[in-house]
Amino acid sequence: MKAAGSWSDPRRGSPLVAAGVSAHRTSATRANREAAGDPGLPWRQAAGAERTRRGTGGSDRRGEPAALPARRRMMEPAVSLAVCALLFLLWVRVKGLEFVLIHQRWVFVCLFLLPLSLIFDIYYYVRAWVVFKLSSAPRLHEQRVRDIQKQVREWKEQGSKTFMCTGRPGWLTVSLRVGKYKKTHKNIMINLMDILEVDTKKQIVRVEPLVTMGQVTALLTSIGWTLPVLPELDDLTVGGLIMGTGIESSSHKYGLFQHICTAYELVLADGSFVRCTPSENSDLFYAVPWSCGTLGFLVAAEIRIIPAKKYVKLRFEPVQGLEAICAKFTHESQRQENHFVEGLLYSLDEAVIMTGVMTDEVEPGKLNSIGNYYKPWFFKHVENYLKTNREGLEYIPLRHYYHRHTRSIFWELQDIIPFGNNPIFRYLFGWMVPPKISLLKLTQGETLRKLYEQHHVVQDMLVPMKCLQQALHTFQNDIHVYPIWLCPFILPSQPGLVHPKGNEAELYIDIGAYGEPRVKHFEARSCMRQLEKFVRSVHGFQMLYADCYMNREEFWEMFDGSLYHKLREKLGCQDAFPEVYDKICKAARH
């Protein structure tokens, strides 16, 4: 999807603020004298006028040049700025450069990344609109696929000296890390970012791999359709959600993103093109999800669509006590009449559980367009129901609901822009939020990257619902990060890297932890290895976009590699693509 270490409000205790208050008081004193009718004011004004008549060579009654007060007034801003700069440098020296790089990153983000992100969004929106209106994508798609095949065949003719990977820059991905392999592998350029076809009769949308969830919702909701599972962040791509994974609050009904896909089109290691479905090349169809592009290059996918309604009728219910939270969440996740189920855990004993259904009707006074730029961040809005200990019912426009966590990047943006949810900031600058994750990565220096790694956690662990209470205790003990995102999903018993332990579908839950660990003496490697060990012990899975500290043996204990390795050998992938572990392990990313 999915920032930095120990954050605080940069204004609190800042000498810059103190200097600003002092200057404000000086100005206020002058204004108060005028308002109070200072008896000396007319005399001073008259004296000033007399000195003006005398010319610049005149002097006041103390013998000082008349121009000096004016010069002093002109110097005041420069002196104030110099004092502020000096105090700021002293503050940097006291706090340390690394502290300031993290805690004051909001300055760079607000001045540069927010406007740049807006320009990116406008460009890609206009481009997608023009391409769709001109229907040029289907005509160009086949030519682009042939170009990919040509690149692969040229790689083979040149001796297949290195592994292949996509040529998309690593900083453009939603993963917080950039793959080192991009610098050493043969980069195959894949410029496939368009929606190819919407077939409402077959209830299928055919898309290229770099199509984003923002593109999909903008188009489908405008014509009355939607994806059964539509993962949250705008910039998530179809290719990333297939080759990795994706989840949403409707997953308790429909499964993960891979489970709503009906066909994949790939270019294989020998340059050949293949289409796979559950009935045609089925082994490859089930092996592709979670494979991270190590079986072939995805060039298109067909995905189910369902009729959409205008709004989501969303109920908010605060729950106290861990046992009650787990029982309530499990119960709501098993109810198929709920279109959406989600939980936000604000502490080990406090949560708000949300359930929703799609509807075309709205009760008067209960519409909440939560996606408007001036609205409070969604997780803060939800927290109000917990603080006031009251239930609530709201009607949210469907697209607003799908991207309810986008503006605040769940709750990560509060660590980057601490005042981002302030009403003044929202009204003045909220229309530019959020900064693109890719740009945040691109401008992240080595020092900041290391500090993030040691002082920040971004993880999604998928565990059986029956282990929820045990899992939350483990998260509390190992990392202690709140809020925690709770999202249920049904995991079908199908071949591939990820499936339940038994032969039947099982209800799982995604536990998402994003933020600063508050556990004492947190050490990223040891704490995360402890958490990974627990997840393996309950037959759970770790999302592969996040930092993975497992060794190879532990990784294949978590994931079922039987079908995957069989196909790698059959399709000649061993000399063409690295193994999935070698792409996602900690050593492969920086």
* H runs (alpha helix) in 352-467: 378-387, 398-402, 413-416, 423-429, 437-442, 446-455
Cβ burial, residue 134 (10 Å; 0-12/13-18/19+): exposed
Query: CA-CA distance, 107 to 105, in Å (whole number)?
Result: 5
Residue 508's H or E segment, with its range, is strand 506-515
CB 300 within 8 A of CB 192: yes
Mean pLDDT, the chain, whole residue set: 85
Which residues have a Cβ under 8 Å from the Cβ of 390 and sit 6 or more positions away? 318
Would you state the pLDDT for residue 71?
A: 59
515: left (phi > 0), else alpha (psi -120 to 50), else beta? left
CB 391 within 8 A of CB 352: no
Residue 26: which pLDDT band, with cuts at 50, 70 and 90?
A: very low
Query: CA-CA distance, 154 to 28, in Å (whole number)?
Result: 74
Encoding tokens for residue 505?
């579908």
Strand, coil or helix: 548? strand
Residue 355's H or E segment, with its range, is strand 350-359
Would you state the pLDDT for residue 294?
A: 96
- How many other C-beta atoms can be found within 10 angstroms of the C-beta atom of residue 369? 12
Give residue for tokens 């995805």. 298
Query: CA-CA distance, 326 to 465, in Å (whole number)?
Result: 9
Query: CA-CA distance, 229 to 257, in Å (whole number)?
Result: 6
How would you write 66-80 as a 3-class SS string? Answer: CHHHHHHHHHHHHHH
Query: How far from the centroid of its chain's Cα atoms is residue 337's Cα?
Result: 29
- Asked whether residue 20 carries a pLDDT value surpassing 60, the answer given is no
Q: What proportion of the chain, given as a percentage, has pLDDT over 70? A: 82
- Pick from 336-340, 462-466, 520-524: least confident: 520-524
**pTM, whole model, 2 decimals?**
0.80
- Asked whether residue 59 carries a pLDDT value surpassing 60, the answer given is no
- Asked whether residue 112 carries a pLDDT value surpassing 90, the answer given is no
Encoding tokens for residue 77?
């801003």
Residue 2: which pLDDT band, with cuts at 50, 70 and 90?
A: very low
Partners of 164 in beta bridges: 186
Give residue for tokens 């696929």. 145
Partners of 187 in beta bridges: 165
- Asked whether residue 33 carries a pLDDT value surpassing 60, the answer given is no
- Asked whether residue 31 carries a pLDDT value surpassing 50, the answer given is no
Task: Map out the domains of the chain with their CATH numbers.
Answer: 138-307 (3.30.465.10), 311-571 (3.40.462)
Which residues have a Cβ under 8 Å from the Cβ of 345 and sit 6 or more positions away? 325, 351, 472, 482, 483, 484, 485, 486
Q: What are the pLDDT digits (tens) for 526-547?
A: 999 999 999 999 999 999 988 8
| Preceding amide of 435 cis, omega within 30 | no
| Length of the chain counted residue by residue | 590
